A and B are shown apart, each in its own frame.
Chain A
Amino acid sequence: MKINKAVITAAGRNQQTLPLQTLIDSDGTEKSVLKIIVEEALRAGIEEICLVVQAGDEKAYAQVAGEHAGRLHFVQQKKPLGYGHAIYCAKEFIGNDAFLHLVGDHLYVNRSQKGCAQQLVEVATSNSCAVSAVQAIRETLLPFYGAVGGMPVQGKQDLYKIDEVVEKPTPTQAEQHLVVPGLRAGHYLCFFGMHVLTPTVIDILRKFIKKSDEQKIHLSPALAELAKKEQYLALQLHDWRYDVGVKYGLMTAQIALAMNGKDRDEVLATLLELLATRELKVLGR
């Protein structure tokens, strides 16, 4: 299975300006959020990228994508019919190929040399199946995530075979259906905002949309269905992910990027100075 297409969703209401924000990437250069995400995809060997956007956002996105603008295809999601529907909008771009999917408001900072998307694509390629990136999350944060249940794949560290997918489960449901051997008590594997999906997902979404009667279509039920139809794996990543859409999300992402790059010392010094001059002064009084 070769993966050279990526779909980035950025059509969420009140979220379409997030990819346009500018940050200093770990290499010290100023980039838009979108560009950082696109580069994450490119590092994974992706050649073509489809951006699902709201009508009229194409130009602004193309602008901030800089030199990568040429690789971008734009697809409009005309009505806010949910996350699953947004991906479905890219069906023609996807065609019959597996694809990497990223969300437009998450940034990733990797611990190792390999990018997060790169690790995911490698695993999907070698196993020839859909793979979602996951992280172990405490049960208290379950209201914010889609979560998976399954069993570890023997002999392969951090890889799990997914049996169940539930969007924002309660701990009650999680304990019954999503307990994964080897995790700490009260921890569950939750989505990381990054997936490699097969075109089967599009078929499933199509079925859902047909029955939906203009209701919102979510991705998790489609992934739950996917797990029943074909092999579907989860790769537990130990890197960091930042949601720039939450309060102080952009700032946190910026600090994280800086701490992982060449300006680390400078940023640390600035933070320390800020603390010393403001907080310590206050204490001194």
Chain B
Amino acid sequence: MSKLVEIITSASPEVRDQSLDAFCRSATMQEILNECNALEKFRLQSGNLYERVRALFFLYAMHRFHLPLKFTETKIGLIPFEGFTNLLNRRFEEAIDIFLAVQEKNGANDAISSALALAYHNLGFQTLANQVRRSVRSVSGNHWMFRIGHPADYPLRIRPELLDDSDNATFPILKEATPVRMDLTHSGWSDIFFLGMDFPEGAKVLNVSIDLAVRGMGMRRPKPPVEAYFRVIDRPVIRLTSVDLGATTEIKNLAELFDFARDYLGLLKAAVIASGIVPPGMEGADQPLADLLAKLVKPGHGLEIVSRVNGIPKGSRLAVSTNLLACLITVCMRATGQTQSLVGQLRENERRVVAARAILGEWLGGSGGGWQDSGGVWPGIKLIQGEQAAEGDPEWGISRGRLLPSHKIFYTDDASTETRQKLQDSLVLVHGGMAQDVGPILEMVTEKYLLRSEAEWQGRRQALGVLDEVILNLKSGNVTAIGNATQRNFFGPIQTIIPWATNLYTESLIKQVTAEFGKDFWGFWMLGGMSGGGMGFIFHPEKRLMAQNRLQEIMSATKRKLEKAVPFAMEPVVYDFAINENGTFAELRSGSAALMPAGYYSLTVPEILRINSKELSPHTRSELDRFSAACKTNPNFSGMISNLFDRLLPSSDNDEVGQKNLTDLLQKNGFDHVQHERIRADLRSGRIGLAQNRLPVSSKIEDVHENDVFDATGSLNQKYRDIGLDALSDGAVAVVSFAGGAGSRWTKGAGVVKALNPFAKIAGKHRNFIEVHLAKSRRISQLSGTDLPHVITTSYLTQEPIANYLQMENNFGYSGPLYLSPGKYVGLRLIPMARDLRFAWEEMPQQLLDEQAQKVQDSLHNALINWAKQSGEGMDYTDNLPLQCMHPVGHWFEIPNLLRNGVLKELLERYPKLSYLMVHNVDTLGADVDPALLGLHIDSGANITSEVITKRIEDHGGGLARIDGQLRLIEGLALPHEEVEFDLSYYNTGTMWVSIDRLLEVFKLTREALSNEELVAEAVRNLAARMPTYITLKDVKKRWGKGQEDIFPVIQWEKLWGDMTALPELSFQFVSVPRNRGQQLKEVAQLDGWLRDGSAAYLEGICEWE
């Protein structure tokens, strides 16, 4: 029997909890391949969810991490395009079959293993997601919602109390207020559904419902952070309003309700559906909404639902959105008689239905949290833990645990009133302000759990020990010990399981607080998925007030220092908080008290005022009366009148200031108006665009021939190394790191400087990209005994932050010559053409998402196409911060910048022997001035040596090809068909060795001519004209409100350095280098794999930190 199948199927925890790594370390390649075959057969015949999923993750990990280490020879492999398209379309089983057939035919290799790894990984997560969805549907109380498809069958009726408008034509308002939750222990993300369903005994969290007030925002005392309001209205529509997002809409038909991303009201729509008011079974039913409302309410009437978040910013790690969803679902369930009581607390069984429906609602809205997130629905402190599935449960026989955990509420025996007070007196809750995407972290946790990697598994057990410790300390009232435990948890198990839970910002805060408060600082406490957003600091109660003030200052100062390096969504805040002992709680407001929150009226009253008063219904008139009375007497409504005026007469001052800044910045950074006008006109007329980037279909594109690429993946001849070392000693080479780009994939368009992002802990410290590149240059300098000149290219976006950072960090101790090469070209972004958006989203192969997430994305795409049309296709994009409206114009300009800004001239003057440049992208972490490769370049006599790597599935965007017979690099967006890329064996690393004099010749320049600015400018312009211009779509973030972000697609243009390979007058040499040297880190989600597959260790080996 296969060893791994035995591990998966064993009933004994000792066997079952063995790690895959331990097995693979000593296994040969053939043994691992045999296990892969056995697991593949096993997973296909196993009916047990857990077994299938664990087998899938084992297969993934073997192909992703273990097999590549065992491939002794570089065997070039191609990935079949058909398999790739199946992957994109989520037909994972078909993709796996195709990849396995290729593996069978051609033998195992790195490329096909990468494809199999991705397919197994995605299939694993899809299997899990499907199971969660099935389980949510089968929670009792939810089945019926999937059976109802026609208003004639509609079974809900509004509670009669809400229909009584006898008091002055006023329908009562049902108000629900819900606390948010914080996790008092963070026991290793054990609230991920699959963990609870597979390891119920280890899925435990201590969860506290809390009220909040943001300090300094005029809130007097903590109150439930989320509120929902429900009432009957005298129109047959569902009116939805989000006060904090400033959005309101009237839903008139069912299709609008299921269209989640067309506005900001997706969460409210999900609540209407998940609460059963419009059951999910009605999706796609072409029936009038008014018929349903006539049954639910009464003919001619409808509903209004309003949500409000009380000043709590997004990303608080306090599950605000899940609790808001739960709050909305609760109010809808109460109003339709699905709970016993209309007001007050909920019963336990009702809370469980709400929690299950919140999970359903999150799935409908294309998002998802953990199973403890709706904890705010329950009162006070509670232990939430996984439950073993028993006979009769829908999970029985499928998974070990149930989908929904159990909630044990802590009474005063478990945590006395005094202890609760002590906790409130010691804990300072903050939002650090960082923008975060915890999605990848949750996937990593699931994966590591399934693989049972030794250290992580040990960490998980330790985290459970910390939880027990905290429970005991709560019982004994020892808050100091709680602080100690949560801090140990953060620095120990949490980071063992997920190193990315921490970051430079958080650690810097902890360090400062520790230094300032000493023994009065009892401990740090991480909330939720990762640190940097919602966090807790526990202090001696006497110091709490001071700590609150100081933390605000410390966080703000640290943010200012790091904000160009780390994405922040908002200014940090400190909260006042209180434990909420009610859980979700409702009250009925009638008569003159039937008022919505004040912010609601600033949204709706301006519209009402535009209507002739005679046309207003009695209900609306009565509401205006109540509102006007409240403005005079109710303190919550003070200032409303001036607010209304602001809304009716919006100011335009800010727009003008923004425009002026943008114009100044463009001018300062070499914006070429004439060229911009031409590009804009070409774009609008359709002469250029995404589709026009492509080479003609008639181009003959082939893979490289046998001797086209020099294999430098093994060790090179000592001769080359000697030549290289000599050149280094002579000062004949400099390194150029391209850091002018915005790194939009890294920060999802957040506009921070990727080069400065402290992305990982290396050699015990968080290091950024620049620091790493300098550390490699330091090592080479030490090796050759000569300081290696290092140039970092910058742009309008990165020049100032990089210069400041280097100054602040004293060039990270780099003693060699360090130059910044500022950009001399900039572009202005354009609003995309609808046809380009359609081309990108409809014609290019796209990754299909999970069924519901895909629906949400389709709806978002439609909304964005409408946005482009309404804002003016092809117009200048100016509706954002000036820096977010500009764009770098591609790395082709990085070398011309060196010529134009005088840096090359200065270098050549200082180092007359300087003859070679190694240029590389900032994200190619493994690239260094390797003496052997340098020697190879010099010895070859090539003008430029370009480094390539063999392809893996993630290497998209072109490669090395013979195009109409000429060997050159080609960009993915220039390929006439997507499938062509899959016939190419090599991928461009972006790293090149350039012979300076030969390059100058191509520009028709000489060393001496560099002093002539005009000549240089013209030379660059002439060569630029020969380079193709590509139109690309980039995501840009627009921030607004409290940590809210919208992402817009914008058009920009760029020229790319790889196209230099098409110039006949330049001779090129292509060398294949090891993956560790050539791979690029493009997305944060790659980091964990990078750390685990040996890449990080390789990097550490080529760095010298001192």
Contacts and interface: CB of A to CB of B under 8 A. Distances in A.
Nearest to A173: B338
A187 to B, nearest CB: 11
A139 B144 contact: yes
Interface stretch (A100-108, A140-148, A198-206, A257-265): A140-148
B337 interface: yes
B144 A171 contact: yes
Contacts of B140: 175-176, 179
Interface string A115-158: 00000000000000000000000111111000000000000000
A186 B141 contact: no
Interface stretch (B153-161, B203-211, B430-438, B863-871): B153-161
Interface residues of A, number: 17
Contacts of A173: 141, 338
B25 interface: no
A183 to B, nearest CB: 13
Interface string A171-187: 11111100100000110
A140 B337 contact: no
A186 B141 CA distance: 11
A143 B153 CA distance: 11
Given A172-B276, A175-B142, A175-B143, A140 B333 contact: no
Contacts of A175: 140-144
A170 interface: yes
B624 interface: no
B652 interface: no
Interface string B92-119: 0000000000000000000000000000
Nearest 6 pairs between A and B by C-beta?
A: A171-B144, A140-B153, A172-B338, A170-B338, A172-B141, A175-B140
A179 B144 CA distance: 12
Given A170-B337, A186-B147, 8 more contacts: A139-B147, A140-B154, A142-B155, A170-B155, A170-B276, A172-B333, A174-B144, A175-B144
A172 B144 contact: yes
B353 interface: yes
A141 B144 contact: no
B157 A176 contact: no
A243 to B, nearest CB: 18
26 contacts: A138-B153, A139-B144, A139-B147, A139-B155, A140-B152, A140-B153, A142-B155, A143-B156, A143-B157, A168-B157, A170-B155, A170-B156, A170-B336, A170-B337, A170-B338, A171-B144, A171-B145, A171-B155, A172-B353, A173-B338, A175-B141, A175-B143, A175-B144, A176-B349, A185-B143, A186-B143
Contacts of A170: 155-156, 276, 336-338
Contacts of A138: 153
A151 to B, nearest CB: 14
B353 A176 contact: yes
Contacts, number: 52
B29 interface: no
B148 interface: yes
A186 B144 contact: yes
B155 A141 contact: yes
A140 B155 contact: yes
A138 B144 CA distance: 11
Nearest to B144: A171
Contacts of B157: 143, 168
B335 to A, nearest CB: 11
Interface in A227-249: none
B303 to A, nearest CB: 16
Query: Chain B CB within 10 Å — which of A143, A168, A170, A179 has the most?
Result: A170
Nearest to B279: A171
B266 to A, nearest CB: 23
Query: Chain B CB within 10 Å — which of A168, A171, A179 has the most?
Result: A171
The main secondary structure of chain B at its interface with chain A is loop
Interface string A20-64: 000000000000000000000000000000000000000000000
Nearest to A138: B153
Interface string B150-181: 00111111000000000000000000000000
A222 B143 CA distance: 29
Contacts of A140: 148, 152-155
Contacts of B336: 170
Contacts of B155: 139-143, 170-171
Interface in B268-299: 276
Nearest to B147: A186
A176 B152 CA distance: 23
Contacts of B144: 139, 171-172, 174-175, 186
Contacts of A143: 155-157
Contacts of A179: 140
A173 B349 CA distance: 10
Query: Chain B CB within 10 Å — which of A140, A172, A175 has the most?
Result: A172
Interface string A66-87: 0000000000000000000000
B174 to A, nearest CB: 16
Interface string B330-343: 00010011100000
A285 B148 CA distance: 39
A68 B348 CA distance: 53
A244 B380 CA distance: 52
Nearest to A143: B157
A186 to B, nearest CB: 6
A171 B156 CA distance: 8
Contacts of A176: 140-141, 349, 353
Contacts of A141: 155
Contacts of A174: 144
A174 B276 CA distance: 14
A99 to B, nearest CB: 30
Contacts of A139: 144, 147, 155
Nearest to B148: A140
A265 to B, nearest CB: 33
Query: Chain A CB within 10 Å — which of B152, B155, B157 has the most?
Result: B155
Interface in B771-802: none
B142 to A, nearest CB: 7
A171 B349 CA distance: 14
Nearest to B152: A140
Contacts of B148: 140
Nearest to A169: B337
B52 to A, nearest CB: 28
A170 B276 CA distance: 10
B253 to A, nearest CB: 21
A55 to B, nearest CB: 26
Contacts of B349: 176
A143 B336 CA distance: 11
Contacts of B143: 175, 185-186
Nearest to B153: A140
A176 B353 CA distance: 9
A178 to B, nearest CB: 10
Nearest to B357: A172
A172 B157 CA distance: 12
B342 to A, nearest CB: 13
Contacts of B337: 168, 170
Contacts of B156: 143, 170-171
B393 to A, nearest CB: 14
Nearest to B143: A175
Interface string A160-174: 000000001011111
A200 to B, nearest CB: 24
Interface string B449-473: 0000000000000000000000000
Nearest to B295: A143
A173 B353 CA distance: 10
A142 B295 CA distance: 13
A143 B156 CA distance: 7
A78 B148 CA distance: 42
A221 to B, nearest CB: 11
A170 B337 CA distance: 7
Interface string B121-156: 000000000000000000011111101100011111
Contacts of B276: 170-172
